[in-house]
């Protein structure tokens, strides 16, 4: 019984479904055609009886009907092959209904084709009106298939001369050969000179939108770069000009002994605190401006064993016994880069970990190798943690998860920005993992080209409690 209920009833293949039924007008035309055929055969039978040759008359009539239907079929096939415009039918038979259906299909197809052409013209007009240069490039041959008007102003392409020409040859002296060879893995060119005018700076992006075609998009970023340079110059000049008055104010505050002015003691302490904070802020702004103005750093062998020992001493001095400090060196290698800048970046991470970890917490520094042959220095803490929504913006200038907590701890809001720029100059990256209430992990990832064999320094002693390599 259960098997019967579980098995669906089988449907006869010959049972007509809703999709097999003819429309009413087609069914009526089919019936009229059959009625005409039946009338012809009846008339032929009567004529055969009259002349005494029923079989011959029926055969000749059937042959005539067959020839007529073959002629109509041949006419339809020739019309479809020649793609001629189909005229609407005037009769009432099945062949006339077929003519009507073919005519209607042609009308609908022409209307659909017009709509598609209008959409294509609208899309091409929109692409042509874009202020950014857009070039369609064939992937295999790297030839230009189409480009808009902005490509003439920004890239120097002219229609129709440059259609079908290799894009690498037409966009000299841009280094596009190796860039295009990267394909989907091509990184955007953020600052490239325009072939039309070297003073014009372009942002180039390669977008593979199909298996056979790429989209080369070029944007004029000259104004943005000039504004960015003006911002950098402004910050650097203002920070430099603030150093002198801050030094004077800080010097006069140091000359005032709070013991000589008991009523002013809280105010003097607060003034000294804020003066020192302002000094640190100016120094960080100057350091950030120097990093932004440089494209590269002097490369030297960065001895990591003394660096880690220094980081441990600085962390213990900054913590003043309120945290458990651990430093583990399992890498057994050094780094290639700037010792001063890397120390500044690592020190910022360690200081932040201590600053945002409550007393009694733990801060751990690990230096290890990666399976790819690179190295990673990670700083792990058991602090407050950072909500996930704030993590992508942590490296922005003056961005704070909690403004009150940052002011209380004495932070400037520039430490992670400095870390990001230092790592960028070393072709490294910063990763951040955090969980609220558990702690955070800030890791500096260096590629294999930045890893150097460890150079033992007999004068360098391991820090207390630090494992040796």
CA separation, residue 205 to residues 130, 186, 222 (Å): 15, 8, 16
pLDDT given for residue 19 in this prediction:
46
The model's pLDDT over 333-361, given as tens digits with 9 standing for 90+, comes to 999 999 988 998 999 899 989 988 999 99
As a dihedral over the C-alpha atoms of residue 269, residue 275, residue 280, residue 281, rounded to 10 degrees, the angle is 130
pLDDT given for residue 456 in this prediction:
66
The model's pLDDT over 32-47, given as tens digits with 9 standing for 90+, comes to 777 778 887 788 788 8
Classify burial at 205, counting beta carbons within 10 Å of its beta carbon; exposed 0-12, middle 13-18, buried 19 or more.
Answer: middle
Mapped onto helix, strand or coil, the DSSP state of residue 38 is: helix
- φ/ψ of residue 28, rounded to 5: -65, -40
pTM equals 0.54
Question: Which residues contact residue 326 at a Cβ distance below 8 angstroms, ignoring those fewer than 6 apart?
Answer: 362, 363, 364, 365, 465
* Per-residue burial over 414-448, b = 16 or more CB atoms within 10 Å of its CB, e = otherwise: bbbbbbbbbbebbebebeeebeeeebbbbbbbbee
How does residue 463 score in pLDDT terms, banded at 50, 70 and 90?
Answer: very low
Question: Which residues contact residue 404 at a Cβ distance below 8 angstroms, ignoring those fewer than 6 apart?
Answer: none
Measure the CA angle with vertex 123, ends 120 and 126; round to 5°.
150
Question: Which residues contact residue 433 at a Cβ distance below 8 angstroms, ignoring those fewer than 6 apart?
Answer: 440, 441, 443
pLDDT given for residue 448 in this prediction:
92
d(CA 136, CA 169): 15
Compute how many other C-beta atoms are within 10 angstroms of the C-beta atom of residue 86.
19
CA 283 from chain centre, in angstroms, equals 35
CA 353 from chain centre, in angstroms, equals 31
> In this predicted structure, which of 65-79, 354-368, 374-388, 442-456 has the lowest mean pLDDT?
65-79
Instruction: Identify whether the C-beta of residue 272 lies closer than 8 Å to the C-beta of residue 251.
Output: no
311-314 contact pairs (CB < 8 A, 24+): 311/343, 311/346, 311/347, 311/350, 311/365, 312/365, 312/463, 312/464, 312/466, 313/463, 314/347, 314/350, 314/351
Mapped onto helix, strand or coil, the DSSP state of residue 367 is: strand
d(CA 31, CA 33): 5
Instruction: Identify whether the C-beta of residue 105 lies closer than 8 Å to the C-beta of residue 125.
Output: no
Per-residue pLDDT, averaged over 225-235, amounts to: 76
């Amino acid at each position: 019984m259960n098997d019967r209920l579980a098995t669906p009833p089988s449907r006869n293949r010959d049972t007509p479904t809703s999709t097999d039924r003819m429309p009413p007008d087609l069914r009526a035309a089919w019936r009229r055609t059959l009625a005409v055929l039946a009338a012809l055969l009846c008339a032929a039978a009567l004529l055969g009886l009259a002349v005494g040759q029923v079989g011959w008359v029926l055969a000749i009539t059937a042959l005539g009907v067959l020839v007529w239907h073959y002629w109509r079929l041949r006419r339809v096939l020739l019309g479809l092959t020649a793609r001629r415009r189909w005229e609407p039918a005037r009769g009432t038979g099945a062949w006339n209904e077929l003519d009507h259906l073919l005519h209607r299909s042609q009308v609908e197809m022409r209307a659909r084709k017009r709509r598609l052409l209008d959409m294509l013209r609208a899309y091409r007009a929109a692409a042509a009106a874009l202020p950014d240069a857009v070039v369609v490039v064939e992937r295999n041959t790297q030839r230009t298939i189409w480009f808009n008007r902005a490509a003439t102003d920004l890239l120097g392409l002219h229609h129709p001369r440059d259609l079908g020409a290799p894009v690498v040859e037409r966009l000299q002296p841009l280094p596009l050969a190796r860039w295009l060879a990267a394909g989907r893995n091509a990184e955007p060119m953020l600052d490239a000179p325009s072939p039309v005018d070297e003073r014009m700076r372009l942002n180039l992006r390669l977008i593979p939108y199909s298996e056979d075609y790429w989209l080369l998009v070029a944007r004029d970023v000259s104004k943005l770069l000039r504004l960015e340079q003006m911002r950098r110059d402004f910050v650097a000049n203002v920070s430099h000009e603030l150093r002198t008055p801050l030094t004077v104010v800080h010097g006069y505050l140091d000359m005032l002994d709070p013991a000589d002015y008991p009523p002013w003691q809280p105010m003097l302490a607060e003034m000294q605190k804020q003066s020192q904070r302002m000094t640190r802020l100016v120094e960080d702004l100057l350091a950030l401006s120097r990093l932004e103005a440089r494209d590269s750093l002097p490369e030297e062998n960065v001895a990591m064993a003394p660096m880690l020992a220094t980081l441990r001493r600085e962390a213990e001095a900054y913590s003043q016994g309120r945290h458990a400090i651990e430093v583990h060196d399992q890498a057994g290698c050094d780094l290639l880069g700037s010792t001063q800048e890397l120390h500044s970046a690592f020190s910022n991470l360690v200081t932040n970990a201590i600053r945002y970890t409550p007393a009694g917490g733990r801060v751990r520094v690990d230096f290890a190798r990666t399976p790819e042959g690179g190295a990673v220095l990670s700083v792990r803490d058991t602090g407050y943690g950072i909500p996930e929504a704030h993590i992508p913006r942590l490296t922005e200038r003056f961005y704070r998860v909690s403004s009150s907590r940052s002011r209380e701890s004495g932070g400037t809001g520039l430490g992670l920005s400095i870390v990001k720029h230092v790592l960028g100059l070393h072709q490294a990256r910063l990763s951040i993992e955090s969980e609220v209430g558990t702690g955070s992990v800030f890791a500096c990832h260096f590629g294999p080209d930045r890893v150097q064999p460890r150079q033992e320094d007999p004068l360098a002693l391991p820090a207390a409690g630090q494992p040796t390599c």
